[in-house]
Amino acid sequence: MKITERAIDKLANQMRIYAEAIVRFDALKKVDLQEAIDNLDRNFEAKLEAFHSLYDVDKAAFDYFEHADTAVVLLLRNAIHHRDHELFSSWNVTMAQEGGPLRFLGAEFLIASHHVAGGGHVGNQLYKAEDFLLRVDSGLNSPALERKMSAKNRGKILEQLRTDLRFNELFAKASAERYPTEQIYLNVIPIFISAVCRTFKSLKTRGVIFVGFDARTYEMHFTDELKVDFSVISYNSIRIR
């Protein structure tokens, strides 16, 4: 049990550190844009690693691949952790590459985010929606296909993306409004929030104790207050001028 308690505390601690990086981002980018982006992305990746650590010690008791939110978080973690492909370059990194946003002058991007209720500000960690499909949809003939996973399990996650996370709806809207596929971005923070809510609630139901200041603080938020509704997607557009 203490191993699980430490994994929870590690995850909660990384979540706090990422939240602090978000708060500092706007001020820091005026001084050093690259440092601001690196801090945010590396701290998000640390959250993914901490979630995976919890999965490692808890997977015998809870099926993380049965649910779209937890499965996709693990899919994203593995893709970024192994990095044997060029997928999952964040919005900030893409826009900050040589030439900056002006490389996309005149282009309009569609930004999708699932609805989070019960909380305040929800951060943005944006990745191309297509990248998720390129990891699991063998029909796309992607060189970045997740080959450590069986075809059956890839198909299961693909269906979770299409139906549970409403990718069918997202891509239908993008097609109807004539957005190029590479200009569709997804905010993964609501998916991460939902995954943590699901996991923390399961752990609490099983009698696991949340030990440490960060763990106790996030226990309340993620078991009683926050709720993600995957049936509701908000859309925004960003035109590079």
Q: Please give the pLDDT value at position 1.
A: 65
- How large a percentage of the chain has pLDDT more than 70? 99
Three-class SS string for 83-112?
A: CCCCCCCCHHHHHHCCCHHHHHCCCEEEEE
Please work out, in degrees rounded to the nearest 5, the angle formed at the alpha carbon of residue 103 by the alpha carbons of 98 and 106. Answer: 160
Task: Say if CB 182 and CB 108 are below 8 A apart.
Answer: no
β-sheet with 227-239: strand ranges across: 126-128, 184-187, 108-117, 227-239
Q: Please give the pLDDT value at position 34.
A: 93
Express each pLDDT in 120-146 by its tens digit.
778 999 999 999 999 999 999 999 999
Q: Please give the pLDDT value at position 118.
A: 82
Task: Say if CB 138 and CB 148 are below 8 A apart.
Answer: no
Q: Please give the pLDDT value at position 121.
A: 79
Tell me the pLDDT of the chain averaged across its residues.
Answer: 96
Predicted TM-score (pTM) of the model is 0.96
Task: Say if CB 71 and CB 195 are below 8 A apart.
Answer: no
pLDDT, average across residues 191-205: 98
Residue 105 has pLDDT above 70, yes or no: yes
Express each pLDDT in 51-68 by its tens digit.
999 999 999 999 999 999
Residue 21 has pLDDT above 70, yes or no: yes
DSSP state of 224: I
